């Protein structure tokens, strides 16, 4: 009964993995490295869940054919076991640095012991190094099993450390999620290693993958990785819906902002300072808008705010609050640059019949007029 309960759990989590895999295939920018790594991780865990279920069914079987099948399945399970940790380390590295050369170096660093572990696993039916079956054909861990454990867990440990060291490179939410995956996987692995017979690691990882897909992969489709606010893709989706609702009577206003002299910051202080300026600008805007307002990075050094304000006076008050918060920031924060915005703002008038593109173009023209008047 216990075996079938385990198999039911694994099959359920395998189904979850299938859903996550096909959902991740629908995510835009499929060719990005971190997306490909995530899908490989999902497929790997799916295969491990199935293989582990087969080992439970085959353990203790006595016919020669089933014994051979058990060896084949167990060897396959051991070959794949180190891969989730390895793939997760690559995924974390891709999130932190977006550098394919760094990924290749990491792949080589972990790839050498991975190959050694694979060789030991493939020769195990002859040597019993990694595992063996007793006279009753019951599975047991071999003397070199700790090597498999180390190969599986070291990448998770280094990933957690790397996220902690470089946590300022990514949004706080992403840092927490990446760390949580590593730590919880390590805990579930430790439970399975210390308490022989308990099998929780692959089903646990499948749950963590679902959480990661929901909180990391989906966010990356709609969030700007530098500022943590919505990106242009989500803005296009949102404003299309909002213009349609505005034509049905729901108020809509838009503010389009541009950082003055941003190119000068990049040219004189470097792109790192430019990135910091964008982060500071986004922080100012986040503290200025109201709950329920929509804020996105429109592109480059431009930002857009969509709100349900229905009159010019209230919209002007929001714009004044942004300028005031910007002034306070410049006075209180020691930065080698000054943040200033040019802005255009307008309430959407349904009688104009404007499309979302026409409305944005109108607000954009007001922003450039403001920039010209204050330059």
Burial 1-32, CB ≥16 within 10 A → b, else e? eeeeebbebbeebbebbeebbeebeebeeeee
Q: Distance between the two ends of the chain, CA-based, in angstroms?
A: 77
345: CB partners within 8 A, 6+ apart: 253, 254, 255, 256, 315, 316, 319, 363, 366
pLDDT of residue 29: 46
DSSP 327-354: HHHHHHS--SS---EEEEEEE--GGG--
Whether 301 sits among the annotated catalytic residues: the reply is yes
CA distance 208 to 80: 18
The residue ranges of the chain whose pLDDT is under 70 are 1-6, 25-32, 98-99, 197, 215-222, 375
CA distance 349 to 112: 64
Q: Where are the domains of the chain?
A: 2-222, 232-374
CA distance 348 to 363: 10
Q: What angle do CA 41, 43, 45 make, to 5 degrees?
A: 70
**CA-based torsion, 268, 272, 273, 279: positive or negative:** positive
- Catalytic site residue from 258, 280, 301, 370: 301
CA distance 270 to 265: 7
Q: How many CA atoms lie within 13 A of 59 on its CB side?
A: 15
pLDDT of residue 31: 47
Burial 280-300, CB ≥16 within 10 A → b, else e? bbbbbbeebbeeebbbbbbee
Nearest to 346 by CA among 206, 217, 252, 229: 252
Please write the tens of the pLDDT for every residue from 245-299.
888 888 999 999 999 989 889 889 888 899 999 999 999 999 999 888 999 999 8
Tell me which fold the domain 2-222 belongs to.
Rhopdopsin 7-helix transmembrane proteins (1.20.1070)
The structure tokens listed for 274 are: 């430019």
The structure tokens listed for 72 are: 């084949």
Longest dimension (CA), the chain: 89
Nearest to 78 by CA among 52, 56, 53, 40: 52
pLDDT of residue 26: 59
Nearest to 118 by CA among 154, 148, 90: 148
Task: Among 3.30.70.260, 3.30.70.270, 3.90.1720.10, 3.40.50.300, name the CATH number for the domain at 232-374.
Answer: 3.30.70.270
Cβ atoms of 87 and 80 closer than 8 Å: no
Cβ atoms of 143 and 129 closer than 8 Å: yes
Nearest to 95 by CA among 202, 20, 177, 206: 177
Q: What angle do CA 45, 186, 188 make, to 5 degrees?
A: 70
CA distance 156 to 185: 8
CA distance 302 to 343: 10
Please write the tens of the pLDDT for every residue from 199-233.
778 888 888 888 877 766 556 666 787 887 888 87
**Strand ranges inside 18-162, DSSP E:** 131-133, 139-141
């Amino acid at each position: 009964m216990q075996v079938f309960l385990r198999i039911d759990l694994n099959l359920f989590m395998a189904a979850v993995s299938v859903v996550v895999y096909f959902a991740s295939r629908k995510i835009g920018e499929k060719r990005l490295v971190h997306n490909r790594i995530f899908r490989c991780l999902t497929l790997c865990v799916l295969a491990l869940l199935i293989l582990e279920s087969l080992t439970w069914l085959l353990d203790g079987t006595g016919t020669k054919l089933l014994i051979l099948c058990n060896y084949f399945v167990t060897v396959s399970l051991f070959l794949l076991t180190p891969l989730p940790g390895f793939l997760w380390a690559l995924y974390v590295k891709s999130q932190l640095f977006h550098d394919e050369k760094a990924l290749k170096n990491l792949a080589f660093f972990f790839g050498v012991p991975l190959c050694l572990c694979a060789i030991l696993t493939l020769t195990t039916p002859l040597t019993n190094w990694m595992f063996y079956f007793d006279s009753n054909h019951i599975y047991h861990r071999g003397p070199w099993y700790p090597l498999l454990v180390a190969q599986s867990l070291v990448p998770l440990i280094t990933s957690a450390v790397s996220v902690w060291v470089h946590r300022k490179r990514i949004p706080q939410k992403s840092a927490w999620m990446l760390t949580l995956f590593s730590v919880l996987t390590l805990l579930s692995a430790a439970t399975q290693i210390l308490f022989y017979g308990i099998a929780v690691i692959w089903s646990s990882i499948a749950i963590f993958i679902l959480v990661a897909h929901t909180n990391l992969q989906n966010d990356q489709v709609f969030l700007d990785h530098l500022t943590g606010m919505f990106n242009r893709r989500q803005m296009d989706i949102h404003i299309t819906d909002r213009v349609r609702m505005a034509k049905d009577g729901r108020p809509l206003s838009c503010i389009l902002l541009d950082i003055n002299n941003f190119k000068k910051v990049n040219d004189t202080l470097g792109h790192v300072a430019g990135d910091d300026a964008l982060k500071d600008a986004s922080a100012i805007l986040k503290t200025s808008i109201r709950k329920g307002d929509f804020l996105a990075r429109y592109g480059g050094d431009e930002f857009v705010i969509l709100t349900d304000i229905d009159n010019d006076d209230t919209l002007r008050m929001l714009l004044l609050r942004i300028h005031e918060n910007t002034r306070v920031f410049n006075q209180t924060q020691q930065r080698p640059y000054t943040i200033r915005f040019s802005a255009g703002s307008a309430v959407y008038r349904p009688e104009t019949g404007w499309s979302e593109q026409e409305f944005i173009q109108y607000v954009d023209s007001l922003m450039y007029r403001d920039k010209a008047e204050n330059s």
